[in-house]
């Protein structure tokens, strides 16, 4: 009978499991488990999508203007006059990047952002560079946003300054728990605070602009000490470029919607693209308005009070209800901006893991259909960064935007090549790539020019940021990205080798087993030993019991009991004069392997008694466990545990 005939006779049955996870502390903490069939119902609309994915970009208006002023402060008050031109340049860049990523959303409706674009058009190396850059971006975003939110709290309540690290880590953990509940539920939770921020910040800017036009705004009362305390410098091109690079942190988070397109309801590409336009329009308007007003009131960068706090108390003439509302909204949005990372990082990690460049576990969905392991990994790494950098936003920002703009550049360069390929297809011709299909489009040339111009702009910003921030900490990212890429490829090589070793192709007929030898390891003769002996004799008639003797008297007792209870099975006692357990056993097994016959299988049966309570294991030597671990990596043998539950 041929292999195909045998395969055709194999019966296959499908049975749905009726088991439902019981309620536990996890149910109270993150919610009841959701079945896989609920995945389509966990998608979100535009309104909630703005809360989930846009919090990072919108929250950047709270720190990007301040980080620009931190650099311009080196030139004194004269340097602050360049803040508005820099803000205009950053806003133009926002428009360029938004147009580019909007095209990515329609071209790649399955998500993935820069990673997928680079992979399909520029190859695996460029894809892993983009993936590493984006993952660094998301991790730093989680740390920076949380620290910036705590900085707002400290501005309103200076007594909390010594506790800023603990507050930052605690808030990060709360955001992690909220995201473990799932994208839809976390989005609903965060929607109200996000829109509260938009309203309060729009009110602050609107009141400030109205008072500025009416001539009643005035200047900042009781300004805090300026953050820059060094020697004044002249305004140079290098200084302007450094300030511009700090201001471009406002663009972080723009790419997250392109990564998480699959989180949106159908038509998901259209909903994601619309959400991206809303986000960019609000971002540009608030960024320009805040920067204009900061220059108008004479705000100064300070570790003791943020520029948003300075603007709010000037616009609202004190620290009243509206001021506290603005600070509260800003604090909340900065903390919730971390949610953008928790929405993007796990999804990107799942895509890279599916391609075999990260551990497969990152592609598994948790009980709430969220990528739980990616969420926990992000929170852990971000918490370490917060502790390491003492929750300082200024110290963390220089590490940030290099990866962001590198990903921008790779994605737009990939789109240029994509449009080029589309433009050279004949009408009706198709090319199927891993996550998209290429078809001829009449308007390919303008799109290619848009992405080409965007790639040029972001490439220039990448170089500017890397050069101007290299000594401030950007060198860490410059060296970290290649290390991560090498790690990704090392993981990929492991999976490829494993797949080749396990492949059934060219494997031929499974070897015929002519002899099955079973070694039964015993430490004594008791009920557990006899249960293991009965099991071993079911496997084969060729069974040998093996005991490692460290005490001749004890070994003699075991021999006598074995003659009574061993059912005629041969017993080998290995004398161990140095009281070693594992080494004599391994030596004996090596001798058996050396003289093993062709087509001979060797199974080692390890009996293990299981006490009634888990902590009773601490009272025993766990010899079976250590033996199993020592034998696990010996090639050519199979290991079988035979547990014996002690009542």
Q: Domains for the chain: give ranges and CATH numbers.
A: 42-341+391-414+448-496 (1.20.1740.10), 515-645 (3.40.50.620)
CA dihedral 450, 452, 454, 456 (to 10 degrees): -150
Q: What HEC string does 74-92 produce?
A: HHHHHHHHHHHHHHHHHHH
Residue 224 dihedral angles phi and psi, to the nearest 5°:
-75, 165
CA dihedral 268, 274, 279, 281 (to 10 degrees): 170
pTM above 0.75, yes or no: no
pLDDT score for 508: 67
Tokens 């466990």 belong to which residue?
A: 625
What number of other Cβ atoms are within 10 A of residue 511's Cβ? 9
Beta strands in 32-152 (DSSP E): none
Helix 64-72 vs helix 268-297: angle between axes, to the nearest 10 degrees? 40
pLDDT score for 1: 45
Report residue 403 as tokens: 């990866």
pLDDT score for 206: 94
Question: Which residue from 52, 124, 103 is spatially nearest to 352, judged by alpha carbons?
Answer: 124
Question: Which residue from 444, 116, 46, 48 is spatially nearest to 267, judged by alpha carbons?
Answer: 46
Give per-residue burial for 369-385: e unless 16+ CB within 10 Å, then b: bbbbbbbebbbebbbeb
Query: What gap in Å lies between CA 224 and CA 240, rounded to an integer?
Result: 24
> Given the DSSP bridges, would you call strands 437-439 and 515-521 parallel, antiparallel or unpaired?
unpaired
Question: Which residue from 319, 391, 15 is spatially nearest to 171, judged by alpha carbons?
Answer: 391
Report residue 130 as tokens: 């983009």
Residue 460 dihedral angles phi and psi, to the nearest 5°:
-65, -45
Question: Which residue from 604, 511, 62 is spatially nearest to 311, judged by alpha carbons?
Answer: 62
pLDDT score for 6: 47
Q: How far is CA 417 from the centre of its chain?
A: 28
pLDDT score for 35: 59
Report residue 186 as tokens: 């976390």
Q: What is the pLDDT of residues 403-459, one digit of tens each?
A: 778 888 998 899 899 889 888 888 878 887 776 778 888 888 888 888 888 888 888
pLDDT score for 239: 84
Query: What gap in Å lies between CA 585 and CA 578, rounded to an integer?
Result: 13
The series of mean pLDDT values per 10 residues for the chain, 647 residues long, is: 51 70 62 58 76 78 83 79 89 87 82 84 91 88 81 79 88 84 65 87 93 88 72 78 80 76 84 90 92 89 83 90 90 78 85 91 76 89 88 71 82 90 84 76 85 86 79 79 94 90 71 81 89 92 91 90 92 87 85 84 86 68 70 80 79
Q: What is the pLDDT of residues 469-511, one digit of tens each?
A: 777 777 788 888 999 999 999 999 999 988 887 777 766 666 6
pLDDT score for 282: 92
Query: What gap in Å lies between CA 67 and CA 69, rounded to an integer?
Result: 5
């Amino acid at each position: 009978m041929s292999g195909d005939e045998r395969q055709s006779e194999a019966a296959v049955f499908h049975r749905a499991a009726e088991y439902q996870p019981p309620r536990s502390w996890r149910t109270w903490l993150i919610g009841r488990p959701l079945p896989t069939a609920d995945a389509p119902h966990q998608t979100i609309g535009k309104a909630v999508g703005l809360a989930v994915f846009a919090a990072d970009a919108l929250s950047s208006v709270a720190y990007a203007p301040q980080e620009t002023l931190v650099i311009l402060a080196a030139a004194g008050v004269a340097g602050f006059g360049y803040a508005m031109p820099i803000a205009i340049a950053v806003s133009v860049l926002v428009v360029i990047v938004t147009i580019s990523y909007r095209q990515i959303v329609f071209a790649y409706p399955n998500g993935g952002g820069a990673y997928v674009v680079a992979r399909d058009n520029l190859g695996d190396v460029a894809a892993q560079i983009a993936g590493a850059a984006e993952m660094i971006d998301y991790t730093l975003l989680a740390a920076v946003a949380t620290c910036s939110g705590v900085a707002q709290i400290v501005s309103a309540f200076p007594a909390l300054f010594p506790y800023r690290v603990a507050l930052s880590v605690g808030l990060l953990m709360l955001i992690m728990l909220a995201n473990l509940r799932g994208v839809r539920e976390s989005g609903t939770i965060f929607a109200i605070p996000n829109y509260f921020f938009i309203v309060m910040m729009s009110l602050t800017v609107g009141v400030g602009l109205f008072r500025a036009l009416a001539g009643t705004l005035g200047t900042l009362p009781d300004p805090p000490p300026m953050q820059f305390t060094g020697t004044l410098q002249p305004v140079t091109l290098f200084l302007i470029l450094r300030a511009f690079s700090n201001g471009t942190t406002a663009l972080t988070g723009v790419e997250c919607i392109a990564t998480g397109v699959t989180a949106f309801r159908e038509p998901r590409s259209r909903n994601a693209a619309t959400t991206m336009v809303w986000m960019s329009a609000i971002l540009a308007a608030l960024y320009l308005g805040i920067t204009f007003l900061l220059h108008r009131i004479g705000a100064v960068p300070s570790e003791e009070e943020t520029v948003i706090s300075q603007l709010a108390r000037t616009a609202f003439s004190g620290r009243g209800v509206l001021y506290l509302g603005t600070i509260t909204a800003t604090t909340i949005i900065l903390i919730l901006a971390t949610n953008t990372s928790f929405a993007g990082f796990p999804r990107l990690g799942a895509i890279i893991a599916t391609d075999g460049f990260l551990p497969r576990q990152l592609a598994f969905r948790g009980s709430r259909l969220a990528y739980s392991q990616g969420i926990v990994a992000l929170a852990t790494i971000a918490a370490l960064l917060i502790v390491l950098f003492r929750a300082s936003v200024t110290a963390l920002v220089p590490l940030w935007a290099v990866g962001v703009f590198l990903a921008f550049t790779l994605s737009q360069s990939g789109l240029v090549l994509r449009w080029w390929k589309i433009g050279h297809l004949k009408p009706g011709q198709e090319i199927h790539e891993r996550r998209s299909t290429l078809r001829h489009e009449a308007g390919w040339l303008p799109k290619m020019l848009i992405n080409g111009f965007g790639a040029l702009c972001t490439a220039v910003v990448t170089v500017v940021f890397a050069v101007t921030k290299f000594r401030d900490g950007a060198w860490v990212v410059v060296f970290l990205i290649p290390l991560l890429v090498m790690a990704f490829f090392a993981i990929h090589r492991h999976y490829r080798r494993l797949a080749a070793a396990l492949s059934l192709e060219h494997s031929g007929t499974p070897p015929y087993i002519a002899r099955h030898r079973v070694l039964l390891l015993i430490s004594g003769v008791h009920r557990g030993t006899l249960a293991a002996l009965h099991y071993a004799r079911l496997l084969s008639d060729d069974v040998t019991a093996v005991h490692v003797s460290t005490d001749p008297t004890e070994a003699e007792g075991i021999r006598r009991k074995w003659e009574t209870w061993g059912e005629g099975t041969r017993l080998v006692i290995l004398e161990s004069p140095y009281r070693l357990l594992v080494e004599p056993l391994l030596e004996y097994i090596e001798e058996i392997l050396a003289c093993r016959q062709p087509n001979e299988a060797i199974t080692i049966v390890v009996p293990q008694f299981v006490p009634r309570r888990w902590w009773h294991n601490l009272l025993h030597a766990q010899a079976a466990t250590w033996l199993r671990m020592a034998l696990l990596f010996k090639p050519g043998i199979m290991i079988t545990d035979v547990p014996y539950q002690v009542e």
